[in-house]
Structure 1
Amino acid sequence: MIAAEDLEQQGFAGEDPAIGKESDAMRSWIRCENLNYSVKAKKKQIHILKDIDCVFPPGRLVALMGPSGAGKTTLGSNALTLRGPGKAEGAILFNGKPSSKAIMKRYSKLVPQEDILQPVLTARETLRYAAELALDASKEERHARAEELISMLSLEECADVIVGGTGLKGLSGGQRKRVSIALEMIQDPSVLILDEPTSGLDSKVAEDVVDIIKRLARTGRTVICTIHQPSFQVFAKFDWLLLLNKGKVAYNGAVDRVSEYLDEVGAPVPAYVNPADHFMLVLSQPVPNPSCEDFAELFKASSFYKDAIADAEACKAAEDAFVAEREASGKVGVPESRRQSAGFATSAWWQFRVLLHRTLMITLKDRAQFRVRIVQLAFVGLIIATIFWRMPNDQDRVQDRISVLFLLMLFLGMSSIMSTAMVVTGERPLVHREVNNNFYTMSSYYFSRVTVLVSFQTLYAVCFCAVVYFMVGFNSDVAKFFKFMLMFVVIALFTGCLGYTAGISFPNIQAISAVVPMMVMPLTLFAGLFIPVANIPVYWIWLAYLSPFQYALEALIVNEFAGEYLNPCSAEAIATSGECPYGLCNSNSSSSEALPCSGDLIINRYEYNFDAYWRNFGIIAGMTVAILLLGLRQIRKLVSTTK
């Protein structure tokens, strides 16, 4: 049993040197009365939780257990937080008042099973950025909060080690879990729900993590852990067990009395066997008492059920006293905290600045990805440059010159699409977590990420052009070089934004890899290289008008050939083909000798517009803006489905 005045006597609250002392601002009671929860699947309602009656008081470390499919994650992560897709019936009360999604979002935090963190940031950087986003305070106070959490979660020795992840050495599993918990503690929540915090950890590390969680509970927080197959040592650290079976309560009582309960119902725990393991085994077998239909009835028929009711009544009395005291002092029934707010703690502009700084740091610290991209562009650029090395400005090389323009444009575009798409898919879980915690708006995140994307896509395009332009032997005019580079920059921006939007719109890189080629191939097919735009059938011409590659190729050809002269065909070319491939310069001449050819004739041959460059540049820029707006719509839609 627990009452407000008995918290310290039972060890459920009080001061911990590393954690701090109890505060009324942290204390919250959660009660479920006749709670039912169902989800809709294939046009029918599936009932997951049935008639749940329980109470979660402050200061108590509660283990939420059950076999697979029992409903423990549904109760902890969905029903109590009111964030899930299902329908809750019955009552969920927060400090005696009907709970709501807004209240639970403000005062409770959920630590997911997976550690969703930025691999290249250190633990200290991770917490500082979170504090910058989540707290309405001065810079010194934000950093002090981060340092407070580092001490609270015993992260001092690894605070400046990168988090790490797949293929990147960093923090250990237990340290990453503590960083995840610290992130949710940034806003000083009164309710902390942890989804299997010991999953994937060895027994000693699991014990250490639960020790820290228990110390957090002792400050007066309401702490609930869904947990699966804990060791004896870990199980013994919990104060209370709420055990579910087939969506119903199979046990609701003190952890240290589990063995007594199993003795009473005729399923005693064998010697040297973990009570938690034995209880789970019992649930997989027929009910020990034939007169009981299920384990929920078995529990209600026991004396422990009366104890659970008495405990719930004591908790309610403590809760009522706490609420009455707050109302008498002019406070509402929910706690207050300077670190919590119903909306966003900071302005959209501040969020953009912090996210821009964080995104830039992540991009620069992720040296492997940066190097791969640079090496990829340099390697392919050098291959193309050596194939077309210092290509002579001859009439018989016109088609080669146009082909290499198209090839360079296509490679830069495809590599931009895939590289940006992979960034988005990797960040998606983190964005979901931070947006659900009201760290920032989606617009702030999106535009900060796009700003960095634009910067680096521009850098990559400039480096690529600098490598290939003069090696291939394009027009040596400086103005034409910069116009060439500018067109490649806008193509890199368009394709980068297209990849970003694709990464937002599709669930994983496999789907993106399947869909993107289907999107890009028609755009390249009707770019004007394989078939002149004038010869495209009328029922396909709309694809040419939608293709940025068509506009870019026209602009690049006009830039390369307008006002220039092509050397006569070489004797070898005439000897091989019998004539100059284009046959343009001599067609109206009485001379039998090969003559220089105006590049304007090439532009006329393709029926291109001599003034196309800036018009086409504007069209591609407009397409880029349209793709960005579509991406913003998609990312808002994506995140709204998770709230």
Structure 2
Amino acid sequence: MEIDRVQMSEERDGGARHSIFRKAQRPLFLKFENVVYKVKTTTTTTTTTGHSSRGGKSVKQSEKVILKGISGSALPGEMTVMLGPSGSGKTTLLTLLGGRVSTTHRLTGSITYNGSPFSSSLKRGIGFVTQDDLLYPHLTVDETLYYTALLRLPKTHTREEKAKLAEAVMEQLGLTACRNGIIGGPLLRGISGGERKRVSIGQEMLINPSLLLLDEPTSGLDSTTAGRIVSTLWELSRGSRTVVMTIHQPSSRLFYMFDKILLLSEGNPVYYGKGSEAMGYFASIGHSPTVAMNPADFLLDLANGVSSDGVSAEEDRASTKEALVSAYKLHLEAPVAEELSGLCIQCKQDESEKATKTKKWCTSWSQQFSVLLERDLKERKHEAFSSTSMLQVFAIAILCGILWFRSSRKPEDQLGLLFFVNGFWGFFPAFEAIYTFPQERTMLSKERSSGMYRLSSYFAARMVGDLPMELILPVAFVSIMYWMTGLKRRAANFFMTLATILLNVLVSQGLGLAIGALVMDVKSAGMMASVIMQAFMLTGGFYMQHLPAFIGWIKYVSFNYYSFKLQLVSQFSRDETYQCTPTTRCRIADMPTAKMVGFDHVPLAVVMLFIMLVFYRLVAYVGLMRVGAKN
């Protein structure tokens, strides 16, 4: 997405900072004809037999038509708005126009961009702003736009140039006053809702899109803030840019800014044309407001089946909707089809545009990795070192130190300590990691759909970024607990115990990541992880020494079993003895737990843990391939 170097030089020389976005990179003519979209639905009904209240359940699958033959166009320099009540199909149509629906086998009709169908290279010229502002809460406005610029602008620009472009966007959208404010979230106070919406728009404006799609950009905002945002969008459309958005209930002031309106009712088109001609059209078919009112409110009443005389009985609403659909087919369907057939589409492309299409990614893998790693470290440090996590870890460490204080002469107690520590650092990282990908699913899908980065670069940055944050707390835990509990005070024993726990943490985290990525539902993933972890612990060699043959194999796939073996070896040797009775010393190797786990095959235990470390992360990566664009 090249931006004019001459304009950029004007920016560096102190010229008009807004000039870099005055013109779109390439005018884009959007046309959609007879779009029909269906989804499969499942209905469960309960049947009764005779006088009994008991019965069976029957599952019936059917298809629901969401869009019923929608046609229209959006041209450069225009702001096209989709109006309609909730459930009318506005967001579905907008998502289809943005190429963000993968189930194309349920879609009929045609959607073309300058005469061509949607392609993976085309999406880098399309900006898509979702209704919910999907932003990282702990990043500032400046950081959010800066990292977006680094990922979405081509590598032909330097970091300094990308930073200047991010600065220009902030100035253009009036965000300079809050540039150092964090985005915030439901439980974290940050910038205002209007400012968050402008940040979302700014992320898309960085690529200087030819087509800008916005889903409910004024949702939840006061009229003044909504007016500022729509005014900004209107100015953006003047730069040969195609702007299409859905809006639920605009004010009259906003209504008169719309160039073209598409009014939907239950998936049917009831009006398509110039915004200034909408009231005249409905007056011509017998629908005029009886009192002065906002035109948008009047149109929405009609789309809901409420006629101009205010009649709102259910049967009358249905007949009103049917009459509007019939009127559209009679008066507007043919003119719309004629307009679309005569629409001039600029299909010729110069060599530079063809060359751009061959580039699959704007930035290299290493650039994506470094930017994602930097962003991840800034965002996730607040989660990894939250007061709750730190309090939990330090409290358990001190509690262990108190309960096992000076237990050096009691190996049976020390084995219990080692197994508890092994279990704690099996459960804690796994359940922390389960939330990772389900919580980031919407963000990952959004960014991948925009073609920001490869899945492999995101995954690698996430794994590397997790290392310091996931390992600092276990190091602090062992440093507190180890010396209080009377374990062997030799450096070799301490570091072997620490290394075993850290390896255990990484394997456990990988298991949590894999389960979260495969299930993508926190509740279901938590239940699955709980069952798996309990099975691993019960067969880990401490609770049961004689496992039934049909289930004993579980210990060989349990990382608890291998890590407990390494912890045993880190503190004891095979021939070491202890005072088992007042007059007798016994070998550690003869203790039931030590005998079950054993002192042999130590290298195999290390190898198995490393295999699990890699395997679980590969499973997590495969699970993530279902999210977002499959690139």
Q: TM-score, normalised by structure 1?
A: 0.84
Residues of 2 paired with 1:470 and 1:264: CA distance? 88
Q: Which runs of 5+ in 1 are unaligned?
A: 1-15, 570-579, 581-592
Superposed CA offset, 1:565-622 (max 9, x none) = 55536xxxxxxxxxx3xxxxxxxxxxxx624444344389624443443331221121
Secondary structure at the aligned position of 2:32 is classed as strand
In structure 1, the residue matched to 2:82 is: 64
Superposed CA offset, 1:609-642 (max 9, x none) = 434433312211211111111111111133357x
Pick the aligned partner of 1:438 from 451, 460, 482: 451
- 1:399 shift after superposition: 2.6
1:27 counterpart = 2:23: no
Residues of 2 paired with 1:559 and 1:417: CA distance? 24
In structure 1, the residue matched to 2:113 is: 94
- 1:454 shift after superposition: 2.5
In structure 1, the residue matched to 2:434 is: 421
Q: TM-score, normalised by structure 2?
A: 0.86
CA RMSD of aligned residues (A): 2.9
Secondary structure at the aligned position of 1:223 is classed as strand
**1:560-571 to 2 correspondences below 5 Å:** 560-562=571-573, 568=579
- 1:425 shift after superposition: 2.5
- 1:493 shift after superposition: 0.4
In structure 2, the residue matched to 1:377 is: 393
In structure 1, the residue matched to 2:570 is: 559
Pick the aligned partner of 1:485 from 476, 481, 498: 498
Report if the CA contact (8 A) 1:390-1:471 is conserved: yes
1:297 counterpart = 2:326: yes
Residues of 2 paired with 1:198 and 1:338: CA distance? 37
- Corresponding letter in the other structure for 2:111: I
1:212 counterpart = 2:228: no
In structure 2, the residue matched to 1:546 is: 557
Superposed CA offset, 1:13-43 (max 9, x none) = xxx9846565363311111223323334455
In structure 2, the residue matched to 1:228 is: 248
Residues of 1 paired with 2:160 and 2:179: CA distance? 18
Residues of 2 paired with 1:282 and 1:46: CA distance? 23
Report if the CA contact (8 A) 1:287-1:294 is conserved: no
1:618 counterpart = 2:607: yes
Distance 1:537 1:305, change over 3 A: closer
Residues of 2 paired with 1:525 and 1:604: CA distance? 13
Distance 1:126 1:337, change over 3 A: farther
Report if the CA contact (8 A) 2:81-2:260 is conserved: yes
Residues of 2 paired with 1:566 and 1:412: CA distance? 29
Residues of 2 paired with 1:458 and 1:111: CA distance? 37
Pick the aligned partner of 1:515 from 500, 524, 528: 528
Superposed CA offset, 1:47-95 (max 9, x none) = 3223322111111111101223322112111245263424332332222
Report if the CA contact (8 A) 1:191-1:222 is conserved: yes
In structure 2, the residue matched to 1:359 is: 376
In structure 1, the residue matched to 2:49 is: none
Residues of 2 paired with 1:432 and 1:349: CA distance? 21
Report if the CA contact (8 A) 1:558-1:603 is conserved: no
Report if the CA contact (8 A) 1:25-1:336 is conserved: no
- 1:337 shift after superposition: 10
Report if the CA contact (8 A) 2:24-2:210 is conserved: no
In structure 1, the residue matched to 2:402 is: 386
Report if the CA contact (8 A) 1:392-1:473 is conserved: yes
Residues of 1 paired with 2:608 and 2:112: CA distance? 56
Secondary structure at the aligned position of 1:238 is classed as coil
Distance 1:340 1:173, change over 3 A: farther
Distance 1:130 1:214, change over 3 A: same
- 1:392 shift after superposition: 3.8
Q: Which runs of 5+ in 2 are unaligned?
A: 1-15, 43-60, 309-315
Report if the CA contact (8 A) 2:408-2:488 is conserved: no
Residues of 2 paired with 1:154 and 1:60: CA distance? 23
1:73 counterpart = 2:91: yes
In structure 2, the residue matched to 1:465 is: 478
- Corresponding letter in the other structure for 1:219: G
Report if the CA contact (8 A) 2:121-2:357 is conserved: no
Report if the CA contact (8 A) 1:561-1:603 is conserved: no
In structure 2, the residue matched to 1:121 is: 139
Secondary structure at the aligned position of 1:167 is classed as coil
In structure 2, the residue matched to 1:474 is: 487
In structure 1, the residue matched to 2:281 is: 261
Residues of 2 paired with 1:286 and 1:174: CA distance? 32
Distance 1:143 1:80, change over 3 A: closer
1:410 counterpart = 2:395: no
Report if the CA contact (8 A) 1:243-1:252 is conserved: yes
Report if the CA contact (8 A) 1:130-1:183 is conserved: yes
Distance 1:291 1:418, change over 3 A: closer
Superposed CA offset, 1:280-301 (max 9, x none) = 2223337789899531221344
In structure 2, the residue matched to 1:590 is: none
- Corresponding letter in the other structure for 1:154: G
Report if the CA contact (8 A) 2:256-2:276 is conserved: yes
In structure 2, the residue matched to 1:201 is: 221
- 1:311 shift after superposition: 6.1
- 1:480 shift after superposition: 1.0
- 1:375 shift after superposition: 2.2
In structure 1, the residue matched to 2:148 is: 130
Residues of 2 paired with 1:421 and 1:104: CA distance? 35
Secondary structure at the aligned position of 2:39 is classed as strand
In structure 2, the residue matched to 1:178 is: 198
In structure 1, the residue matched to 2:10 is: none
**1:28-47 to 2 correspondences below 5 Å:** 28-41=28-41, 44-47=62-65
1:504 counterpart = 2:533: no
Residues of 2 paired with 1:81 and 1:640: CA distance? 10
Report if the CA contact (8 A) 2:503-2:609 is conserved: yes
Residues of 2 paired with 1:419 and 1:596: CA distance? 43
- Higher mean C-alpha deviation, range 560-569 or range 257-266: 560-569
- 1:122 shift after superposition: 0.7
Report if the CA contact (8 A) 1:417-1:500 is conserved: yes
Distance 1:35 1:448, change over 3 A: same
Distance 1:341 1:121, change over 3 A: farther
Residues of 1 paired with 2:151 and 2:304: CA distance? 47
- Corresponding letter in the other structure for 2:417: V
Distance 1:361 1:631, change over 3 A: same
- Corresponding letter in the other structure for 2:569: V
Residues of 2 paired with 1:637 and 1:80: CA distance? 19
In structure 1, the residue matched to 2:159 is: 139
In structure 2, the residue matched to 1:54 is: 72
Secondary structure at the aligned position of 2:197 is classed as helix
Report if the CA contact (8 A) 1:150-1:156 is conserved: yes
Distance 1:24 1:605, change over 3 A: closer
How many residues are treated as equivalent by the alignment? 587
- Corresponding letter in the other structure for 1:560: Q
- Higher mean C-alpha deviation, range 256-265 or range 342-351: 256-265
- 1:142 shift after superposition: 1.2
Residues of 1 paired with 2:355 and 2:374: CA distance? 26
In structure 2, the residue matched to 1:5 is: none
Residues of 2 paired with 1:554 and 1:308: CA distance? 75
Residues of 2 paired with 1:545 and 1:498: CA distance? 16
Residues of 2 paired with 1:610 and 1:62: CA distance? 73
- 1:341 shift after superposition: 7.0
Report if the CA contact (8 A) 2:213-2:243 is conserved: yes
